């Protein structure tokens, strides 16, 4: 079955709005795990506008041995005050998976994948270090990306297909082309020996069609929509709803 990893960044956004401790990101993680999710995702950014390095370490201890832990981030972002750099965070937290994302400084959310022809040389030693730490490495890529063999050649085990354009097209009622692009990219990745993850703007309405198009999808990482839907239905029930979609 496709693993559901719940991204808890938006819990931290709500907490930080008051500068206090509620909602409690640890309690949210416990609720998601109790509901049956297979993983917890955090995407710490250098500006610390949502999850912080302290959150990363707190949840590393909380989820250890229970579910997978996925850290997302830009491996090229340099350290600064209050942020040790993504690779250093991975060294400390030892997540199950490190998802490398080329998000720029100040970018609101991830909106494109790596250009492997341009970035492979810089990524190679970083992926080697992450692999040596025991982390599975996934590279964030666009649907329609070429040369996926290069991702495998530089040491990645998986790719995460960026599903933002598919989700936008689904909402507009004309998603066949974008869904086919995701499915074709997944097939090419598998042919290259890579596992396939997917993420961004997935929700309860559009997830089923994606899962049917990519039956052997390894993992989906869902945060923004899931936390938004949980405001109406509750966090535990919402996680269970997503799991039911993935099962069926």
Per-residue pLDDT tens for 63-109?
999 999 999 999 998 899 999 999 999 999 999 999 999 987 766 66
Burial 184-207 (b: 16+ CB within 10 A, else e): ebbebbbebebbbbbbbbbbbebb
Checking if the pLDDT of 60 tops 90, the result is: yes
The pLDDT of residue 107 is 64
The model's confidence at residue 111, banded by pLDDT at 50, 70 and 90, is low
| Gap between the Cα atoms of 42 and 27, Å rounded | 15
Give the model's pLDDT for residue 208.
Answer: 98
Q: What's the token pair of residue 101?
A: 């994302």
Is there a cis peptide before residue 106, judged by omega within 30 degrees of 0?
Answer: no
Q: Which of the residues 160, 175, 178, 200 is marked catalytic? A: 200
pLDDT given for residue 32 in this prediction? 98
On the 0-12 / 13-18 / 19+ scale of CB atoms within 10 A, 30 is middle
Sign of CA dihedral 56, 59, 60, 63: negative
Per-residue pLDDT band for 110 (boundaries 50, 70, 90) equals low
How many C-beta atoms lie closer than 10 Å to residue 9's C-beta? 21
Categorize the per-residue pLDDT at 2 as very low, low, confident or very high, splitting at 50, 70 and 90.
Answer: very high
> How far apart, in whole angstroms, are the C-alpha atoms of residue 18 and residue 23?
10
Taking the C-alpha atoms of residue 90 and residue 43, their distance in angstroms, rounded to an integer, is 11
Annotation marks residue 178 as catalytic = no
Residue labelled with tokens 């535990």: 236
pLDDT at 237 over 80: yes
Domain parsing of the chain, residue ranges: 3-247
3-class secondary structure per residue, 127-167: HHHHHHCCCEEEEEEECCCCCHHHHHHCCCCEEEEECHHHH
Q: What is the dihedral of CA 218, 204, 22, 90, to 10 degrees?
A: 20
Rounded Cα distance between 186 and 199, Å, is 13
pLDDT for the residue 231:
96
pTM: 0.95
CATH of domain 3-247: 3.20.20.70
Q: Is 64 a catalytic residue?
A: no
Confidence of residue 146 (pLDDT cuts 50, 70, 90): confident
* Integer Cα distance of 191 and 75 in angstroms: 26
| Cα-based distances in Å from 186 to 39, 59, 211, 213 | 21, 30, 11, 9
Place of tokens 């730490």: 133
pLDDT at 108: 62
Query: Active-site residue 105, yes or no?
Result: no
Q: Which of 50, 72, 175, 229 is catalytic?
A: 72
- Across residues 172-185, what is the average pLDDT? 97
Q: Which of 43, 50, 175, 219 is catalytic?
A: 43
Percent composition of the chain: helix, strand, coil (DSSP 3-state, to 5) = 50, 15, 35
Residue 22: which pLDDT band, with cuts at 50, 70 and 90? very high
Show Cβ contacts of residue 148 under 8 Å, excluding neighbours closer than 6 positions: 116, 141, 159, 185, 188, 189, 191, 192, 194
């Amino acid at each position: 079955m496709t693993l559901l990893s719940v991204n808890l960044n938006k819990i931290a956004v709500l907490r930080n709005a008051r500068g206090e401790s509620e909602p409690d990101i640890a309690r949210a993680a416990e609720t998601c795990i109790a509901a049956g999710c297979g993983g917890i995702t955090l995407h710490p950014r250098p500006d610390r506008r949502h999850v912080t390095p302290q959150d990363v370490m707190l949840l590393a201890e909380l989820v250890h041995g229970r579910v997978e832990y996925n850290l997302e981030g830009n491996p090229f972002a340099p350290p600064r005050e209050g942020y040790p750099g993504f690779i250093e965070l991975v060294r400390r937290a030892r997540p199950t998976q490190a998802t490398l994302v080329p998000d720029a400084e100040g970018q609101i959310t991830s909106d494109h994948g790596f250009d492997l022809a341009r970035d492979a040389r810089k990524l190679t030693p970083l992926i080697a270090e992450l692999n040596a730490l025991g982390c599975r490495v996934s590279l964030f890529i666009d649907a329609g990306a070429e040369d996926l063999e290069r991702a495998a050649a530089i040491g990645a085990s998986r790719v995460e297909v960026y599903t933002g354009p598919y989700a936008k097209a689904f909402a507009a009622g004309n998603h066949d082309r974008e869904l086919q692009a995701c499915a074709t990219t997944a097939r090419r990745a598998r042919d290259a020996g890579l596992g396939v993850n997917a993420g961004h703007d997935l929700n309860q309405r559009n997830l089923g069609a994606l899962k049917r198009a990519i039956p052997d999808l390894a993992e989906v990482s869902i945060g923004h929509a899931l936390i938004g839907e949980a405001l109406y239905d509750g966090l535990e029930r919402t996680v269970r709803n997503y799991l039911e979609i993935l099962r069926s």
